[in-house]
Amino acid sequence: MKLLLLLLLITLPTAAVSQAKKYIGYEHKGVTYGAMLPNGAKDLGGGLLSDENYGVSRFSKDGKFMLWLEKITVRDAGGIPSWKVKDALIFSKPKSNQEFLFSHSSGCRQNGEENLDLIVQAEFLPKTKTYKIINAWRANIKNERFEKISNKGIVCRPDAP
């Protein structure tokens, strides 16, 4: 039994990383919320980072939820961007009271300061009308990767614009 548990603990993170790797390098033209990409991923919205040539987008596919760190490669004559996935995080479907908060509309602050490269997984607590921070990442534009960071000093307000 212990061996089985150990094998599960070793293989699950590896499986999630290998799943994420299959999206890195994927290129697509920007779509509207709810639309499907040619690879079957459904767009769930996104936002730009501090360097507006980069963004974080939410997608779902095959029962999985994904965050993609993307870079604009070109814009067409109508201004529609083409994106290239630089990094990806994959999750099981979030609970109904969980959200991924980022960009200008997140209402999240790190040590009291706005940080547009901050991505937060939070659980909304309706009784107190607050967020409990579950996980946090920083979109590192230099390395073009998501970096896991401490939750310490991160506060998200649901009533923020």
Q: Which of 69, 87, 85, 90 is nearest to 16 (CA)?
A: 90
Report how many domains make up the chain. Answer: 2
Q: CA angle at residue 117 from 116 to 121, to 5 degrees?
A: 100
Question: How much of the chain is in helix, strand and coil states, percent to nearest 5?
Answer: 10, 50, 40
Residue 130 is part of which domain span? 98-156
Say yes or no: 49 and 68 in one domain: yes
Q: What is the mean pLDDT of residues 113-127?
A: 94
Say yes or no: 138 and 75 in one domain: no
* Confidence check: pLDDT of 12 > 60: no
Query: Is residue 161 in a domain?
Result: no
- Which pair of tokens denotes residue 52? 């507006």
- 42-98 pLDDT, tens digit per residue, is 999 999 999 999 999 999 999 999 999 999 999 999 999 999 999 999 999 889 999
154 pairs with which residues across the strands? Answer: 110
pTM: 0.85
Alpha carbon distance 137, 90 (integer Å): 13
User: What is the per-residue pLDDT for 157?
Assistant: 86
Q: Which long-range contacts (CB under 8 A, 24 or more apart) does 10-17 make?
A: 16/90
* Confidence check: pLDDT of 143 > 70: yes
User: What is the overall mean pLDDT for the chain?
Assistant: 88
Say yes or no: 48 and 107 in one domain: no
